[in-house]
A and B are shown apart, each in its own frame.
Chain A
Amino acid sequence: AQTVTQSQPEMSVQEAETVTLSCTYDTSESDYYLFWYKQPPSRQMILVIRQEAYKQQNATENRFSVNFQKAAKSFSLKISDSQLGDAAMYFCASSRAGSYQLTFGKGTKLSVIP
């Protein structure tokens, strides 16, 4: 079974600054996928970024990037030039290749200070 741990229940960042959200996971699989989802107060779950475990290159999407450390089973999300609209719950998730199961962490609530 896969487990996903987000050790920071809450974080805050000054507007325009950079923040990193932590995520660690545990899996015995060699082929799997990792995701970050954003849930703003409007409650919609929005896919932020996706990483394929067999790719060493870290995924990036505009101001969002990941630091994927496969050996350490770490998958942190970096948000650069933070904006007020980035305030949300962020969920880390994993799935093994060939499986529909998506395992979520408990989430990190990010506040952006103007």
Chain B
Amino acid sequence: DAGVIQSPRHEVTEMGQEVTLRCKPISGHNSLFWYRQTMMRGLELLIYFNNNVPIDDSGMPEDRFSAKMPNASFSTLKIQPSEPRDSAVYFCASSLPQGAGQPQHFGDGTRLSIL
């Protein structure tokens, strides 16, 4: 079975540019999560979708960050304009309906470098 698919795997861009990260969750999973991982702060939950609806975006750092889930098989995380402090590994994860300790399955992550 295909796991969570993220693209691109690496992204290097100059500050001020728009960055779009993509995620395809596991088929049948209705919960989707975006995380950011840095050495200083570890893994941080940015946003959580349930059935394509954003439920909790309290972790989104600021207005420069936005996330969408137009359908059950696709989500994007956009940063505009990007800044060097946005450099991190961004993970997408999906799971079956929450409520019974369903584990989250992670993609391979996107390593983002903002110069």
Question: Which residues on A are within 8 Å of B, measured CB to CB?
Answer: 32-33, 35, 37, 42-47, 50, 52, 91, 95, 97-102, 104, 106-107
Question: Which residues on B are within 8 Å of A, measured CB to CB?
Answer: 31, 33, 42-43, 45, 48, 50, 55-56, 89, 91, 93, 95, 98-101, 103-109, 111
Given contact pairs A42-B108, A43-B108, A106-B42, A100 touches B31 in the complex (Cβ within 8 A): yes
Given contact pairs A43-B89, A106-B42, A107-B42, A100 touches B106 in the complex (Cβ within 8 A): no
Docked Cα-Cα span, A106 to B37, in Å, equals 11
Of A45, A97, A98, A107, which one neighbours B106 at CB under 8 angstroms? A45
Known A50-B101, A97-B101, A100-B48; further 20 A-B contacts with Cβ < 8 A: A32-B101, A33-B101, A35-B103, A43-B111, A44-B106, A44-B107, A45-B93, A45-B106, A47-B105, A91-B43, A97-B99, A97-B100, A98-B99, A99-B98, A100-B55, A101-B45, A102-B104, A104-B42, A104-B43, A107-B42
B residues within 8 A CB of A43? 89, 108-109, 111
Docked Cα-Cα span, A18 to B94, in Å, equals 32
| Closest A residue by C-beta to B108 | A44
Docked Cα-Cα span, A65 to B48, in Å, equals 30
Given contact pairs A43-B89, A107-B42, A100 touches B56 in the complex (Cβ within 8 A): yes
